[in-house]
C-alpha cells in the first residue's frame, strides 16, 4: 500500500473500532462506570496500571480495586486512614499487589492535595512535542514518598527505554475527545497531537506488517518511530490509529 491507501485503510478501521462497542471487552469500561471527573481519572489510572495480561482478568481485578475503594475512588484517596488501607493488602493482579496498591493510594492523595490532581501534574509538566518526557517527570512526582523498590516498576519511564504502554493508553483515555463515547476528553490542556500509541505486542506486530515500524523491540525507540509515522497520517490526532492497530491485531488476527 502507498501512503494514501494506507491512510484510507487505517481510517476505515478506526471507524470500525472507535465506537461504544469497543467498551464491551476493554478495560476502559471501568472508568466509564463513573460520572465524577476525579473518579474517572483515578479509576482510569489504577485500571491502566494493571492493564497487562488477560483482558477479562484485568477488568475483573480493576473492579475489585473499585470495590475495595467503596466505588468512590476520589473520596477514598482523599480521606482514607491507615486502617482503611488494611483490606487492600490482599489485592493481587499478576505482580501488582496490595503493597503497591496501598502506595498508589497514598501517592494519589499527595498528588490531589499538592499538584491539582492527575490532570495538574501531567498538564504542568508537558513536553514540547511529546508526552514521553512528561511521563518521566510524573514518575518522579509519584515516588516522592517513601516506597518499596518493587512498587516503582509499575510506573514506566520512557527516558529509560520503556514504551510506557499503560500510561500512554491512560493519557489517550483522558485527552482524546469524547465524540465517539470511548475516550473521555477530560483534560483540555493537553493536545491530542502530543499523544503516543500504546505500543504492545498486538499494535507492534500489525505496525510492522504495515511497514509503520521497523524496529523489532517494543521499546521507547520503537515508539518514537511509530509516532513519527502515525503523525504523518494524522498530525492532529495520531493516536486514533491505536484503535485500528489494536483491532486488526486482536479481533482480526491481521
Residue 254: per-residue pLDDT: 81
d(CA 254, CA 251): 8
Residue owning grid cell 515508539: 223
Delimit the domains of the chain by residue range.
3-250
Residue 157: per-residue pLDDT: 96
d(CA 82, CA 26): 32
Q: With cut-offs at 50, 70 and 90, classify the pLDDT of residue 42.
A: very high
- Residue-wise pLDDT for 9-35, tens only, equals 999 999 999 999 999 999 999 999 999
Instruction: Extract the C-alpha cell encoding 131.
Output: 508526552
Residue 86: per-residue pLDDT: 98
| 96, containing H or E segment | strand 96-97
Distance in angstroms between the alpha carbons of the first and the last residue of the chain: 15
Asked whether the predicted pLDDT for residue 37 surpasses 90, the reply is yes
Give buried/exposed letters for 160-194 (b at 16+ CB in 10 A, else e).
eebbbbbbbbbbbbbbbeeebebbbebbeebebeb
Q: State whether residue 92 is helix, strand or coil.
A: strand
d(CA 230, CA 247): 16
Asked whether the predicted pLDDT for residue 160 surpasses 90, the reply is yes
Q: With cut-offs at 50, 70 and 90, classify the pLDDT of residue 1.
A: confident
Which residue, 195, 174, 173, 184, is CA-closest to 239? 195
What mean pLDDT comes out for the span 191-218? 96
Asked whether the predicted pLDDT for residue 238 surpasses 90, the reply is yes
Q: Hey, how many other C-beta atoms are within 10 angstroms of the C-beta on 19?
A: 13
d(CA 27, CA 31): 8
Asked whether the predicted pLDDT for residue 225 surpasses 90, the reply is yes
Instruction: Extract the C-alpha cell encoding 85.
Output: 488501607
Asked whether the predicted pLDDT for residue 77 surpasses 90, the reply is yes
Please state the pTM of the whole predicted model. Answer: 0.96
- Residue-wise pLDDT for 86-127, tens only, equals 999 999 999 999 999 999 999 999 999 999 999 999 998 887
Amino acid at each position: 500500500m502507498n501512503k494514501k491507501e494506507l491512510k484510507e485503510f487505517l481510517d476505515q478501521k478506526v471507524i470500525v473500532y472507535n465506537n461504544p462497542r469497543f467498551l464491551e471487552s476493554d478495560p476502559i469500561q471501568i472508568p466509564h462506570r463513573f460520572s465524577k471527573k476525579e473518579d474517572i481519572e483515578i479509576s482510569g489510572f489504577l485500571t491502566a496500571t494493571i492493564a497487562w495480561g488477560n483482558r477479562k482478568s484485568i477488568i475483573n481485578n480493576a473492579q475489585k480495586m473499585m470495590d475495595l475503594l467503596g466505588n468512590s475512588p476520589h473520596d477514598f484517596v482523599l480521606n482514607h486512614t491507615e486502617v482503611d488501607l488494611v483490606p487492600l493488602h490482599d489485592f493481587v493482579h499478576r505482580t501488582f499487589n496490595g503493597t503497591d496498591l496501598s502506595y498508589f493510594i497514598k501517592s494519589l492523595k499527595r498528588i490531589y492535595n499538592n499538584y491539582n490532581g492527575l490532570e495538574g501534574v501531567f498538564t504542568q509538566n508537558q513536553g514540547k512535542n511529546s508526552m514521553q518526557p512528561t511521563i518521566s517527570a510524573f514518575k518522579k512526582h509519584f515516588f516522592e514518598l517513601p516506597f518499596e523498590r518493587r512498587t516503582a516498576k509499575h510506573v514506566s519511564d520512557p527516558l529509560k527505554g520503556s514504551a510506557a504502554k499503560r500510561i500512554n493508553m491512560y493519557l489517550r483515555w483522558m485527552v482524546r475527545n469524547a465524540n465517539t463515547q470511548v475516550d473521555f476528553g477530560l483534560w483540555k490542556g493537553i493536545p491530542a497531537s502530543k499523544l503516543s500509541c500504546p505500543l504492545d505486542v498486538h499494535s507492534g506486530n500489525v505496525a510492522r506488517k504495515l511497514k509503520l515500524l521497523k524496529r523489532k523491540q517494543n521499546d521507547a525507540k520503537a515508539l518514537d518511530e511509530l509516532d513519527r509515522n502515525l503523525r504523518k497520517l494524522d498530525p492532529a490526532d495520531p493516536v486514533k490509529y491505536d484503535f485500528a492497530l489494536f483491532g486488526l491485531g486482536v479481533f482480526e488476527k491481521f
